[in-house]
Amino acid sequence: MAEIGKTLLESGWLAARSTEVELTGSQLTTTHPPTGPSSPWMEAVVPGTVLATLVKNKVVADPFYGLENEMIIDIADSGREYYKFWFFTKFQCKLSGAQHLDLNFRAINYSAEVYLNGHKMVLPKGMFRRHSLEVTDILNPDGENLLAVLVHPPDHPGRIPPEGGQGGDHEIGKDVATQYVEGWDWIAPVRDRNTGIWDEVSISVTGPVKIIDPHLVSSFFDQYTRAYLHATTELENRSAWVADCSLNIQVATELEGSVCLIEHLQTQHVSVPPGARIQYTFPKLSFYKPNLWWPNGLGKQSLYNVSITVDVKGYGESDTWGHLFGFRKIESHIDRATGGRLFKVNGQPIFIRGGNWILSDCLLRLSKERYKTDIKFHADMNLNMIRCWGGGLAERPEFYHYCDVYGLLVWQEFWITGDVDGRGIPISNPDGPLDHDLFMLCARDTVKLLRNYPSLALWVGGNEQVPPDDINTALKNDLKLHPLFESHSENALSIEEEDPSQYLDGTRVYIQGSMWDGFANGKGDFTDGPYEIQNPEDFFKDNFYNYGFNPEVGSVGMPVAATIRATMPPKGWQIPLFKKLTNGYTEEVPNPIWEYHKYIPYSKPGKVHDQIELYGIPKDLDDFCLKAQLVNYVQYRALLEGWTSRMWSKYTGVLIWKTQNPWSGLRGQFYDYLLDQTAGFYGCRCAAEPIHVQLNLATYFIEVVNTTSEELSNVAVEASVWDLEGACPSYNVFDKLSLPPKKVMSISELNHPKSENPKPVYFLLLKLYNMSNNSIISRNFYWLYLPGGDYKLLEPYRNKRIPLQITSKTSHKDSSYEIEMNVQNKSEKPDPKILTYKNKFANRREDGEFDMSSLEPIHDKTEEKQKAGLFQRLYRQFPRETDGSKITEIKGSDVGVVFFLKFSVHALKTDNKGGEDTRILPVHYSDNYFSLVPGEEMSIKMSFEVPQGVTPRVTLEGWNYQSEVHTVI
Q: List residues with catalytic annotation.
A: 464, 552
Cross-strand partners of 963: none
Do residues 482 and 218 lie in contact, with contact meaning Cβ atoms separated by under 8 Å? no
Q: Supply φ then ψ for residue 187, to 5 degrees.
A: -155, 145
- Sheet holding 385-388: strands in order across? 510-511, 456-460, 409-413, 385-388, 352-357, 653-657, 549-554
Other C-beta atoms lying within 10 Å of the C-beta of residue 309: 22
Do residues 668 and 661 lie in contact, with contact meaning Cβ atoms separated by under 8 Å? yes
Q: Supply φ then ψ for residue 449, to 5 degrees.
A: -70, -35
Closest to 590 in 3D by CA, of 605, 569, 574: 574
- The DSSP annotation for 454-480 comes to TTEEEEES-BSSPPPHHHHHHHHHHTP
CA-based radius of gyration for the chain: 29
Closest to 127 in 3D by CA, of 55, 53, 193: 193
C-alpha distances (whole Å) from 704 to each of 352, 540, 711, 769, 899 are: 17, 14, 12, 11, 24
E strands, 530-583, are 549-554, 577-580
Return the SS3 of 593. helix
Q: Where are the alpha helices (DSSP H) in 734-793?
A: none
Q: Which H or E element spans position 594?
A: helix 592-596
CA distance 190 to 744: 45
Cross-strand partners of 309: 248, 320
How many whole angstroms from its chain centre is CA 842?
27
Distance in Å from the first CA to the final CA of the chain: 49
b/e 158-178 (16+ beta carbons within 10 angstroms → b): bebeeeebbbbbbbbbbbbbb
CA distance 249 to 214: 11
Q: Which H or E element spans position 636?
A: helix 621-645
Q: Supply φ then ψ for residue 197, to 5 degrees.
A: -90, 90
Length of the chain: 969
CB hemisphere CA count around 107 (13 angstroms): 27
Closest to 189 in 3D by CA, of 181, 199, 197, 178: 181
CA distance 479 to 482: 9
Q: Is 36 left (phi over 0), alpha (psi -120 to 50) or beta?
A: left
Q: Which H or E element spans position 91?
A: strand 85-92
Cross-strand partners of 563: none
- The DSSP annotation for 681-746 comes to HHHHHHHT-SEEEEE-TTT-EEEEEE-SSS-EEEEEEEEEEE-TTS---EEEEEEEEEE-TTEEEE
- The DSSP annotation for 23-69 comes to S-HHHHTTT----SS-TT-EE--SSS-HHHHHHHTTSS--TTSTTGG
Return the SS3 of 138. helix
CA distance 607 to 81: 49
b/e 109-129 (16+ beta carbons within 10 angstroms → b): bbbbebbbbbeebebebbbbb
